[in-house]
Amino acid sequence: MAKVWLVTGASRGLGREIARAALNAGETVVATARSVEEVRNGLGAEHGLHALALDITDAKAANLVATETVERFGAIDVLVNNAGYAELGFFETFTDAEVRRQFEVNLFGTMNVARAVVPHMRARRSGLIVTISSVSGLVSNGGGSVYSASKFAIEGWMEGFAQELAPLGVRSLLVEPGMLRTDFMDRKSASFGSIDIPDYAEAIAQYRAFVDEANGNQPNDPSLLAARIVARASQDGLSSRLIFGDDALAWAGAKVDQLRQEIARSADRD
């Protein structure tokens, strides 16, 4: 029996690929983004596709989308909380408003959608929440501190929330990709700090050059990740995390090794 998917940020990038993979698997997909037209332009007139407008920072709109989806299709089997963007740059170059906007979208917007959908899943004692995080939710580097902070917050929230939901039949999957070959690093999705600080000028110039060079040349194929997510959604014994890409696996492994070393040093009382 076909499942009903609700996908946020589905007009482009990984969200669009997940929506397309689910449609190709014969699922019903409610694909959302701020612009319905962009969703339809990106996915076409696919059978099973229903496009709705949603700004995830609007809690009322999230509730309306969840209610409309359940009323029309009877359930939401899979929620893909994907919508987000990146503030890329050095922390001191961001205003307070810019930092808060990063959290408003990536964390609080994602929470809005989960808060709207989860009651329907709890009522059925069934459902899967797929949360698109990032390896940057496990590892932070210079130039990514603000973005990583929002993703670290996502990780902490969902790690605990998943344990609260598991006894009620609702499953969770945290997805932590490496660098995906999407437009995530262009100026539609990424933003840079607006404060000029000469002490950081050289390092920021190098970082922006890295971002510009990497954009469009990332090593990982988003369509492969999308297919894996759709396949996992039908599997029993679902693991709680999916780390995707050789780069992400290497960075996550190095972080684990570093933590083990620091734990061992902390335990050494001599």
Active-site residue list: 133, 147, 151
**Cα–Cα dist 57/233, whole Å:** 26
Rounded distance between C-alpha atoms, residue 231 and residue 36, angstroms: 26
Cβ atoms of 175 and 130 within 8 Å: the answer is: yes
Q: Which helix (H) or strand (E) holds 156?
A: helix 145-165
DSSP per-residue string spanning 196-261: --GGGHHHHHHHHHHHHHHTT--SB-HHHHHHHHHHHTT-SS--SEEEESHHHHHHHHHHHHHHHH
CA-CA distance, 221 to 14, in Å (whole number)? 9
